[in-house]
Amino acid sequence: MSKLVIIIILTLSLTLHFYHIAKLTRGLAPIEVAHALLAHELRSLSFGNRQFSSSFDTPSFAYSAFASIMFSVFDYGIWQLRATSALAGTASAISLYFLAYKLLQLGSHRFSNNTPLHINSFLATIIFIFSPWSIHFSRFASAHNLGLAIYLLGTWLFSLLLSSKSGNPTRYRYLIIFAFSLSLFLAYSCVPYFAAASLLGCALILICFVYRKIIPYLVAIYLVAIFYLILSGKLAIYFSYYSLINLFFGLDIASVYRVSEVGLLLAPFLPFLLLGIYHIATLPTLRAYFFTSILVHPLLLLLFSPQHPNYANGLVLLPYLSLGIALGLTRFTKLLRSYRFAFRFSNFLPFMSGSLIFVFAGYAFMSFWHIYHQHYPLDAWPQWSTHWTKGALYIAQSYPQATQVVMEESPEVISYVQFFDLVFHNQVSRTLIGLESATALHASLPDGAVVGISGWRATPPNFQNTHHISLPDQQGTVIYKIGLWRQI
């Protein structure tokens, strides 16, 4: 049974994460390019001898390290760059399955319980796999997803350790302690502060639950933090994490870190999350406190998240919300069973309800998939720098001999050119030259050694053979152009 479950999780997760990963989303986010260049640096240069510095984003060391392994095995490329994130998403799903099982076991075996653990944890994992954010974050080179995977893995390892404490000895206790410590370090490296803090917070809750009640202290911390937020004027931003609209419907915000009008989770699951919270509240006292603490602890930690509002940090909410929804679905099933007996129906009511939930969830997922693939690339192309990606791709392919690139626009574009040089020529040799310097030096610059890149509105002097790159929308109209010029 367990093997079959793992196979299902792996198949679904890998399919959703790797399907057309290099083409969708179109373009590369600046952070992805930064990760690629740091990965190249780690792979080809000695440690500490940095060649590239990113002025526009801070690449994660851990993510780049994993990406450099992918580059070593599969060579440079977009899917190789994003594969770490896709695998991290899959690892998160697997970790969540085991973690949810362990949490349910920890929260129930000390008391009378008849919760179907396997079903609950499998449901939580499926909800997690099909959640829009999980899919989105697994399809681009962002360290947040890796942080989430490490965080879930670390929490699971810690829960294993606790299981061994409470009468089920584990032979690999010391190995687990080492792995847990490593996960803390890696989580910190991935997403500084937050993933590690969440991991530590969850570990503390687990410890406190096994040894002592902690609710009053959690509440006290919460109140103090609220006071801090009131005084610092950050309360409004923090409240956005609690927004049900944000979580289930999304906002009309174009960003690398969020798909416009798509929530963290599929909208039909909202009633089941509420039912899940109700289910937790009605459990016996200690179990209720335990699950409540587990469910809300990321929210508590988000209070201290230094960057507000940080939807990427809010990713940590996802596994626990999935668990809450799974509990709600279980409660709903129980409710249906009781009605079935009350009305002496056969299996009609549960079957109909199950089918309806499936249809609604399926429809919501189909709608998300459509928006993600058809609408999102059109809405968020500036954030995904689709124009820079296309321009840099063109330079790398058409002007391999040019050693200098003149920028009229943002200097970040040079990183894109360098990345595609890696992909096509396996080396980085070009340097950046500012437009003003290029104009002043233009007589002394060797012919054919300089290419230029500019926004479509202005054409700098001293360049010719303008090549326009258009970014067509679905209707075929031009919405952006990039001019490329060679020096005369």
Binding residues for another protein, rule: CB under 8 A, are 216, 219, 222-223, 226-227, 230, 235-236, 239-240, 242-245, 248-249, 267, 277-278, 281-282, 288, 292, 366-367, 370, 374-375, 378-379, 473-476
Please report how close the Cβ of residue 375 comes to another protein at its closest, in angstroms. Answer: 5
Residue 16 to residue 85: CA distance in whole angstroms: 12
Closest CB to another protein among 9 and 329? Answer: 329
Cα–chain-centroid distance for residue 406? 34
Residue 353 to residue 50: CA distance in whole angstroms: 59
Closest CB to another protein among 375 and 467? Answer: 375
Closest CB to another protein among 45 and 281? Answer: 281
Residue 450 pairs with which residues in a beta bridge? 404
Residue 158 to residue 414: CA distance in whole angstroms: 44
Please report how close the Cβ of residue 458 comes to another protein at its closest, in angstroms. Answer: 29
Closest CB to another protein among 125 and 246? Answer: 246
Please report how close the Cβ of residue 370 comes to another protein at its closest, in angstroms. Answer: 5
Q: Could you tell me which of 120, 93, 108, 118 has the C-alpha nearest to residue 318? A: 93
Give the count of beta carbons closer than 10 Å to the beta carbon of residue 383.
18
Residue 67 to residue 75: CA distance in whole angstroms: 10
Tokens standing for residue 268 = 């039909």
Please report how close the Cβ of residue 249 comes to another protein at its closest, in angstroms. Answer: 5
Query: Is the preceding omega at residue 319 within 30 degrees of 0, hence cis?
Result: no
Residue 405 pairs with which residues in a beta bridge? 432, 451
Please report how close the Cβ of residue 351 comes to another protein at its closest, in angstroms. Answer: 24
* 150-155-156-159 Cα dihedral, nearest 10 degrees: 160
Closest CB to another protein among 230 and 352? Answer: 230
> Phi, psi (5° rounding) for residue 445?
-75, 135
C-alpha Rg value of the chain to the nearest Å? 25
Closest CB to another protein among 208 and 235? Answer: 235
Please report how close the Cβ of residue 277 comes to another protein at its closest, in angstroms. Answer: 7
Closest CB to another protein among 177 and 223? Answer: 223
Query: For residue 258, what is the DSSP state?
Result: B
Closest CB to another protein among 260 and 333? Answer: 260
Torsion 90-94-100-106 (CA) sign: negative
Tokens standing for residue 467 = 């090549």
Residue 351 to residue 346: CA distance in whole angstroms: 9
Q: How far is CA 229 from CA 137, 264, 386, in A?
A: 28, 24, 38
Closest CB to another protein among 277 and 327? Answer: 277
Query: Is the preceding omega at residue 330 within 30 degrees of 0, hence cis?
Result: no
Sheet holding 404-407, edge to edge: 431-434, 404-407, 450-455, 478-487, 463-472
Closest CB to another protein among 55 and 282? Answer: 282
Please report how close the Cβ of residue 144 comes to another protein at its closest, in angstroms. Answer: 24
Q: How far is CA 327 from CA 272, 276, 295, in A?
A: 8, 5, 11
> Phi, psi (5° rounding) for residue 353?
-65, -45
